[in-house]
């Protein structure tokens, strides 16, 4: 699978570096005074400085939880997901949706969690016990 590229606004590059680099463990790539590249599990995400960016606070109900829209993230292996969930809990991260098993016992069963970066960008990390279920109907 080819890596994706995503550029998104942040209010402060130092807090973005602390969140993506230190907390999530994303290696930093190229950067300037206005943007920073991060390696998010092999995908290129770029935090662009936009001090006036506003985030709409919209959500959709999925499996009884209010899921923030828009959001981005990565589908991890189950061991990677558990390791990240443990690291985030140990860091006392405030989750939008706490780590849990969604659609339990149904097609598309997945572990998921949602959190916000310091600029209010919503991220989802998920994993499937059966990766073939990613696009199952």
Question: Which tokens belong to 134?
Answer: 């990613």
Give the C-alpha separation, 128 to 24, whole Å: 20
My answer on whether 72 and 35 are in the same domain is no
My answer on whether 71 and 112 are in the same domain is yes
- Stated as kind and residue range, the H or E segment containing 31 is strand 28-31
How many separate domains does the chain show? 2
My answer on whether 106 and 44 are in the same domain is no
On whether the CB atoms of residues 93 and 121 are closer than 8 A, the answer is no
* Tens-level pLDDT at each residue, the chain (137 residues): 899 999 999 999 999 999 999 999 999 999 999 999 999 999 999 999 998 877 777 999 998 999 999 999 999 999 999 999 999 999 999 999 999 999 999 999 999 999 999 999 999 999 998 999 999 88
My answer on whether 71 and 97 are in the same domain is yes
Which pTM does this prediction carry? 0.92
My answer on whether 23 and 79 are in the same domain is no
My answer on whether 13 and 74 are in the same domain is no
In which domain, by residue range, is 42 found? Answer: 5-49
My answer on whether 43 and 66 are in the same domain is no
Question: Which tokens belong to 124?
Answer: 């989802």
- The H-assigned helical ranges of 17-126 are 78-90
Task: Report the DSSP pairing between strands 122-127 and 110-116.
Answer: antiparallel
């Amino acid at each position: 699978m080819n890596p994706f590229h995503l550029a998104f606004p942040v209010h402060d590059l130092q807090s973005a570096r602390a969140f993506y680099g230190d907390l999530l463990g994303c290696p930093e790539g190229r950067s300037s005074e206005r943007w920073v590249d991060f390696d998010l599990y092999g995908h290129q995400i770029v935090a662009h400085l936009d001090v006036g960016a506003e985030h709409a606070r919209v959500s959709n109900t999925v499996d009884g939880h209010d899921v923030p829209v828009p959001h981005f993230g990565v589908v991890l292996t189950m061991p990677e997901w558990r390791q990240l969930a443990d690291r985030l809990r140990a860091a006392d991260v405030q989750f939008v949706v706490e780590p849990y098993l969604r659609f339990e016992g149904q097609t598309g069963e997945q572990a998921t969690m949602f959190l916000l970066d310091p600029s209010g960008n919503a991220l989802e990390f998920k994993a499937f016990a059966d990766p073939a279920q990613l696009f199952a109907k």
